[in-house]
Amino acid sequence: MNTKLIEAVKKQLSDSPADADDLLYEISQHLDASAGWPGFTYYTDTCKFYDENHEEIWEALSEDADMQGCTPMELIASFGCVNSIIDDQRFKNALAWYALEAVALDYDNR
């Protein structure tokens, strides 16, 4: 997992590293970014996060897709929110949520 993406997710969650770690642990137990986590609830926040971190998000997507034997777009097609992606805003939101869940899962596996 890209260190820059981990740090970006933690910063988006909280200004306090300890709080971000606690939140990542909690998210890793639920793996549901749509539950309304700090910094990942509103489109304005998730779209900005995607715009600022899209290269790292796509790098993580490519790595995860390779490990699962599929393409990044096939992986995206498996997301639970895929049926609600009807515009650019919701696409960016889905990828920001993916980053949150991927970092939380990586955090839990450490």
**pTM higher than the cut 0.75:** yes
pLDDT digits (tens, 9 = 90+) for 69-93: 999 999 998 887 776 787 999 999 9
| Cβ-Cβ contacts under 8 Å for 38 (sequence gap 6 or more) | 12, 13, 14, 23
| Cβ-Cβ contacts under 8 Å for 91 (sequence gap 6 or more) | 85
For the chain, the domains span 3-108
Q: Identify the pLDDT of residue 78.
A: 85
The parts of the chain modelled with pLDDT lower than 70 are 83, 108-110
Q: Identify the pLDDT of residue 81.
A: 73
